[in-house]
């Protein structure tokens, strides 16, 4: 894909009469990865949901384009992959079943197989175990793998190093480095620099209160 873009024009979100954020105008461009920063409860995750289109903005306009062509919001879901604390895995599935199920909805990047993805996740010994028996760190690796190894233009990561130990954080950073080109990655972070060291752009929610 030769170009991709997400554009926010004067976007705001409120619940009842309280504005969570307001007046955000920002363009996310291919290969210019962005960190959304802010304290806990500042609205980072809400903004990520607005960008995804799963939450409707209270004001402003949101648009997507790939290859120079605009994509309607209601047709954009296939462009996204995400890893967030509120995204649930199908815990009754084994890892193999989870990957096969995911592949029916979103293709993995060219050249990847179920076996190679399992190796990348360092979960070969647990591939036939139900995900409900995985540790929180193992589950997070699965979420990040599904997001970053899918063939999607836009990747949304909310606090991606949650539940990861030091070795797994290094694994995450390498996984991003190997899979960041040719797409837009947006990271929500509560100032954990390991989560967004690859980002060249920054958007702070506190600037839009």
- Our count of domains for the chain comes to 1
How far is Cα 161 from Cα 77, in angstroms, rounded to an integer?
Answer: 24
Token pair for 85: 């604390």
How far is Cα 168 from Cα 172, in angstroms, rounded to an integer?
Answer: 6
- Which domain does 177 fall in, by range? 4-208
Location of structure tokens 């929610």: 205
* Range 18-34 average pLDDT: 96
In the predicted model, what is the mean pLDDT of the chain? 95
Strand 18-29 and strand 34-37: pairing? unpaired
The three-state secondary structure class of 70 is strand
Location of structure tokens 């539940």: 163
Work out the angle between the directed axes of helices 136-148 and 95-105 (0-180°, nearest 10). Answer: 30
Location of structure tokens 């009754």: 92
Q: In Å, how far are 15, 16, 184 from 83, measured between CA atoms?
A: 24, 28, 14
The three-state secondary structure class of 97 is helix
Beta strands in the chain (DSSP E): 4-15, 18-29, 34-37, 59-66, 69-71, 80-83, 154-158, 184-189, 201-204
Cβ count within 10 A of residue 127: 18
Which helix (H) or strand (E) is 174 found in, with range?
helix 166-179
Residue 1 has pLDDT above 60, yes or no: no
- pLDDT single digits (tens) 87-125: 899 999 999 999 999 999 999 999 999 999 999 999 999
- pLDDT single digits (tens) 140-159: 999 999 999 999 999 999 99
- pLDDT single digits (tens) 49-94: 999 999 999 999 999 999 888 998 888 888 999 999 888 999 999 9
Given CA atoms 137, 139, 145, 151 in this order, what sign does their dihedral have? negative
For the chain, give the number of residues. 209
> Residue 178 maps to which CATH number?
3.40.50.300
Location of structure tokens 């950073």: 173
How far is Cα 66 from Cα 22, in angstroms, rounded to an integer?
Answer: 26
């Amino acid at each position: 894909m030769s170009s991709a873009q997400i554009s926010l024009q004067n976007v705001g979100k409120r619940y009842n009469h309280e504005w969570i954020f307001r007046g955000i105008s920002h363009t996310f461009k291919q290969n210019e990865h962005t960190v959304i920063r802010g304290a806990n409860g500042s609205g980072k995750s809400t903004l990520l949901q607005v960008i995804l289109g799963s939450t409707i903005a209270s004001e402003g306009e949101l648009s997507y384009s790939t290859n120079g062509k605009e994509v309607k919001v209601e047709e954009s879901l296939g462009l996204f992959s995400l890893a967030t604390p509120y995204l649930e895995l199908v815990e009754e599935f084994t890892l193999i079943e989870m990957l096969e199920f995911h592949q029916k909805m979103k293709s993995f990047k060219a050249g990847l197989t179920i076996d190679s993805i399992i190796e990348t996740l360092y979960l070969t010994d647990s591939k036939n175990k139900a995900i409900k028996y995985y540790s929180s760190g193992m589950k997070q690796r699965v979420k990040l793998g599904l997001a970053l190894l899918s063939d999607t233009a836009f990747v949304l990561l909310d606090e991606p190093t949650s539940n990861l130990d030091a070795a797994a954080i290094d694994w995450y950073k390498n996984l991003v480095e190997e899979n960041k080109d040719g797409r837009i990655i947006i990271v929500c972070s509560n100032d954990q620099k390991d989560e967004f060291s690859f980002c060249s752009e920054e958007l702070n929610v506190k600037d839009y209160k």
